[in-house]
């Protein structure tokens, strides 16, 4: 019987009727219909326990989704053939939430937000969910964060038919926890500005598929929208306009909103490259500002890089980073380090003078620059994060605590692992959401995006996080993320560029590799349609005809 249940549960896991995303580590289901009672409620087992407010708020949001989601089953008749079964089904009156280790009512429970920002390796997202066929349901976890992940799963179990909220597959038993601790989405808010509500809507969507890190690439060469205490001139002179900025209040709002949804905000200030806009307020710190032709001085316009060999610029940058660390509670902080243009420095008299005075090569000066900025990051109690060029192309001797994002190619994972550094997958050949949109550089008729072709959800889903590592290096892989660079993305198309494609890596790094795209597609259709019910404008992956007929539009069908 045990083996039968195992096989049966795997079959049902990929059924369009039970479309959980990401797929749980362990799942068994039955075939008994069950519907939510009109008075259905979510309650805590210990009425006297001091339940964190953010977890109570999450419970209320879940209850509201259960009322507002009007998602019908993605089958041809949208569930109509099950109408009689649903009407006569037993009802579930409540979902009970309980902490596994709550030994007494007075025991203090950490908030969901505290759990979310505890740092990699310090988060417990595991949970157990049991829904019986006789109308009882219990969700247990060790932490508020675990209960929140379980609430997310519970909300995916149900469909609507004739005013009833139902499942056809009780009893349901789930034991779940993530395979990798880092599951992220990177958003660039410099090329184009995104209002706070757009970021919040993105955070909501991330939480619905258990993504737990927003990598916020907040500033770049094109604009500096972040209002940094003590450095307000950067945004005053570098933002697109005075109303296209993120104030300290905005940042606190976004960070708080994210944490209450199980998401940590990893901010990045890319240095020393990608900093041209700083010249608008501090020209003394920028080499080759807006130099022409830009293609000789930068990977994209406008050109301009921090004068990394200047002691004054190092001090300026260190001060800027120190102030930024106070704005973001995350244990992680990225100093960037990608696409440094050597020609820019070779043509900059000030940099050449500083190098000669110090007797350093460019890479040696870069190592000193990175060392100084990372000292500030660590001094704030945070772990530095860099792009792959810092340890690989420039051989900067970063500390062993440093986390490296591998972006140029997935083929470079092994080189980072050989240095004994922890890594996050962000490879352009799998995870860049902006690829394939055509060339954005003007006066270039036949131009295409540099990372063509378009990266489908299937491409991301097929990735093996351990590819390129040896067994003794596997612990260095922290997870991965999908990324949206926004040269051609703004508020008008943010949802459609990101969703539901970014859900692919959400499952990959929660559930682990080995998922089959054929079996996953019906569940991902479900994700997209449920997102739409909740106000996120996810794009169709196929014609609706295909979504209602799983497998009918496969290339081998």
pLDDT value of residue 46: 87
Q: Is 339 noted as a catalytic residue in this protein? A: yes
Alpha-carbon distance 75 to 9, whole Å? 19
What phi and psi, each to the nearest 5 degrees, are found at residue 473? -105, -5
Q: 10-residue block means of pLDDT along the chain (557 residues)? A: 38 55 96 96 89 97 97 96 96 96 66 97 97 95 97 98 96 98 98 98 98 98 98 98 98 98 98 98 98 97 98 98 98 98 98 98 98 98 98 97 98 98 98 95 92 97 97 98 98 98 98 93 97 98 96 95
How confident is the model at residue 5, as a pLDDT?
40
| Angle in degrees, 0-180, between the axes of helices 53-68 and 144-154, rounded to the nearest 10 | 0
C-alpha–C-alpha distance, residues 443 and 222, integer Å = 19
**Is the distance from CB of 543 to CB of 74 less than 8 angstroms?**
no
Residue 105: per-residue pLDDT: 52
DSSP codes joined into one string, 324-354: HHTT---SEEEEE-----HHHHHT-HHHHHH
Specify the pLDDT at position 14.
Answer: 39
Record the tokens describing residue 191, joined without a space. 């090329």
Report all structural domains of the chain as residue ranges with CATH numbers, in order of start.
18-176 (3.30.379.10), 182-515 (3.20.20.80)
β-bridge partners, 139 = 97, 129
With beta carbons less than 8 A apart as the criterion, state whether 82 and 72 touch: no
Question: Which residue of the set 85, 233, 339, 393 is catalytic?
Answer: 339
**Measured distance CA(174)–CA(127) in Å, rounded:** 8
pLDDT at 107: 67
Question: Is-contact 30 8, C-beta < 8 A?
Answer: no
Q: What is the pTM of this model?
A: 0.95
Determine the length of the chain: 557
CA 190 to chain centre: 18
């Amino acid at each position: 019987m045990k083996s039968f249940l195992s096989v049966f549960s795997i079959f049902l896991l990929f059924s369009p009727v039970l479309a959980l995303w990401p797929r749980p580590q362990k799942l068994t289901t039955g075939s008994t219909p069950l519907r939510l009672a009109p008075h259905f409620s979510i309650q805590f087992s210990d009425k006297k326990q001091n339940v964190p407010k953010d977890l109570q708020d999450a419970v209320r949001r879940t209850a509201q989704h259960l009322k507002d989601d009007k998602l019908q089953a993605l089958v041809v008749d949208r569930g109509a053939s099950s109408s009689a079964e649903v009407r006569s089904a037993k009802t579930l009156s409540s979902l009970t939430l309980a902490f596994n280790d709550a030994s007494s009512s007075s025991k203090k429970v950490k908030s969901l937000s505290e759990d979310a920002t505890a740092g990699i390796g310090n988060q417990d997202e595991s949970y157990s969910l049991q829904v019986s066929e006789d109308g009882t349901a219990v969700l247990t976890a060790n932490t508020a964060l675990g209960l929140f992940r379980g609430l997310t799963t519970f909300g995916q179990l149900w469909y609507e038919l004739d005013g009833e909220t139902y499942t056809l597959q009780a009893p349901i038993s789930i034991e779940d926890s993530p395979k990798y601790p880092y599951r992220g989405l990177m958003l660039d808010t410099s090329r184009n500005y995104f209002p706070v509500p757009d970021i919040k809507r993105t955070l909501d969507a991330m939480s619905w598929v258990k993504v737990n890190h927003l990598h916020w690439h907040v500033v770049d060469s094109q604009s500096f929208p972040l209002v940094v205490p003590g450095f307000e001139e950067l945004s005053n002179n570098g933002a697109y306009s005075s109303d296209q900025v993120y104030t300290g209040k905005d940042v606190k709002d976004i960070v708080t909103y994210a944490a209450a949804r199980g998401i940590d905000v990893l901010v990045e200030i890319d240095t020393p490259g990608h900093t041209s806009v700083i010249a608008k307020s501090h020209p003394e710190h920028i080499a080759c500002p807006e130099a022409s032709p830009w293609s000789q001085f930068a990977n994209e316009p406008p050109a301009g890089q921090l004068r990394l060999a200047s002691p004054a610029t190092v001090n300026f940058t260190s001060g800027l980073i120190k102030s930024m660390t106070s704005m973001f509670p995350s244990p992680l902080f990225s100093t960037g380090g990608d696409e440094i243009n050597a020609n820019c420095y070779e043509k900059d008299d000030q940099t050449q003078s500083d190098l000669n005075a110090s007797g350093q090569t460019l890479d040696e000066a870069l190592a000193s620059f990175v060392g100084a900025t990372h000292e500030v990051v660590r001094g704030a109690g945070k772990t530095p994060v860099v792009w792959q060029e810092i340890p690989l192309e420039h051989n900067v001797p970063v500390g062993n605590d440093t986390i490296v994002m591998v972006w140029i190619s997935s083929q470079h994972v092994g080189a980072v692992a050989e240095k004994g550094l922890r890594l996050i997958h962000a490879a352009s050949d799998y995870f860049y959401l902006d690829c394939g949109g055509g060339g954005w550089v003007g006066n270039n008729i036949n131009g295409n995006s540099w990372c063509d072709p378009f990266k489908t959800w299937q491409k991301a889903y097929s990735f093996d996080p351990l590819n390129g590592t040896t067994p003794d290096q596997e612990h260095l892989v922290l997870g991965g993320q999908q990324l949206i660079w926004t040269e051609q993305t703004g508020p008008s198309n943010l949802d459609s560029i990101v969703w539901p494609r970014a859900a692919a890596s959400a499952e990959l790094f929660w559930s682990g590799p080995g998922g089959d795209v054929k079996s996953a597609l019906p569940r991902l259709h479900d994700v997209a349609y449920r997102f739409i019910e909740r106000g996120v404008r996810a794009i169709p992956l196929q014609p609706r005809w295909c979504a209602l007929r799983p497998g009918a539009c496969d290339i081998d069908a």
